Amino acid sequence: MEDFLKFKKMITPLIIQILFWIGVAVCVIMGLVAMIGGANTPYGGGQVVFGGLLLIFLGPLAVRIYCELLIVIFSINDTLTDIKNGLKGGAAPRAAGGTASPTGPPPTPGTPR
């Protein structure tokens, strides 16, 4: 609880996941409404039905991409927090290859290690 009060732990990724499912539901419902409305139109409703169908399939995809971009920002924050905590503890952060990064400057040529 203390981490939430000091803003060290983010709750926004959970909220983004909830908003994703709400966005998917809205896209599907709006697509169905558009398809039903287009089907009930006496003339020229084919484009509305096709638009509703596109909304049902492409709407959730667009919502997913948007939410993933937002979550990436918080993932970067978590990673940077881990690196900061690792540096405070005296441990060197691991490089991408899984080996520890060197501590200190590289040796000068001609001097023994």
* 94: helix, strand or coil: strand
Per-residue pLDDT at 24 exceeds 80: yes
Stretch 34-54: mean pLDDT? 92
pLDDT for res 35: 94
Stretch 22-51: mean pLDDT? 93
Per-residue pLDDT at 78 exceeds 90: no
pLDDT band at 95 (very low <50, low <70, confident <90, very high): low
Question: Structural domain boundaries of the chain?
Answer: 32-83
Stretch 73-95: mean pLDDT? 80
CB atoms near residue 81 (< 10 Å): 13
pLDDT band at 99 (very low <50, low <70, confident <90, very high): low
Per-residue pLDDT at 44 exceeds 90: no
52: left (phi over 0), alpha (psi -120 to 50) or beta: alpha
